[in-house]
Amino acid sequence: MKLVLATANPDKAVEIRSIIGASVYGLELAPRPAEVADVVEDGDTLEANARLKARAIADAAQLPALADDTGLEIDALGGAPGIHAARYAGEDATYADNVAKVLAEMESITDPAERRARFRTVVMVRWPDGREVVAEGVVEGHITAGPRGDGGFGYDPIFVPDDTAPRSFSELSDDEKNAISHRGRALRALAEALAD
């Protein structure tokens, strides 16, 4: 089976390749075609945004495309940043800007029980004719008081999954993160759905 990767985020691409490579035997995952313009992710849901990316790449490559979209839901912030995780601190925000904004907004909340959060990923394979297979993965945890660890990307330094507490995603090896992460769970569910 040959799929084209729809993500333009190199950090996500590394994880996706590692997880899906271990889950689907004989899969060829082609890189995102460089000539395709950035996709405007203006959908209202993770699934809608995954679909926008998958459709653009499937149309351009005339091959099935694999897309994902991830949100971070923080209960104390009413579910923010949610689907706006990439640009939470502004249009050109860096990972560090987004982390700093979350920590500043949660400064007054000291009880970890009130700092509950979850990552949610929707993954999708979409064929040029419009057929789709969709799956979702969630990991529950809490937001730390400050950044911890050197690994990972995005909000990893401030997210502690329940499964590995007290270690943050940034304090896990790549394999440890992929085994329990939102993206790992979503991609393994997708692999099962594809096998069906």
Residue ranges binding ligand IMP (CB under 6 A): 9, 68-70, 85-86, 95, 98, 152-156, 169, 181, 183
Nearer to ligand IMP, 33 or 149 (CB): 149
Nearer to ligand IMP, 19 or 194 (CB): 19
In DSSP terms, 159 is beta-bridged to 143
Instruction: Respond yes or no: is residue 69 known to be catalytic.
Output: yes
Which of 44, 59, 68, 69 is catalytic? The answer is: 69
**Which amino acid appears at position 74 of this protein?**
I
Nearest-CB residue for ligand IMP: 154
Q: Minimum Å distance from CB 159 to ligand IMP?
A: 6
Burial 144-180 (b: 16+ CB within 10 A, else e): beebbbeebebbbbbbbbeebeeebbbbbeeebbbeb
Q: Minimum Å distance from CB 178 to ligand IMP?
A: 10
Q: Minimum Å distance from CB 64 to ligand IMP?
A: 19
DSSP string of 136-180, one letter each residue:
EEEEEEEE-SS---SSSSTTGGGEEEGGGTTS-GGGS-HHHHHHH
Nearer to ligand IMP, 64 or 141 (CB): 141
Give the residue numbers annotated as catalytic, written as ranges.
69
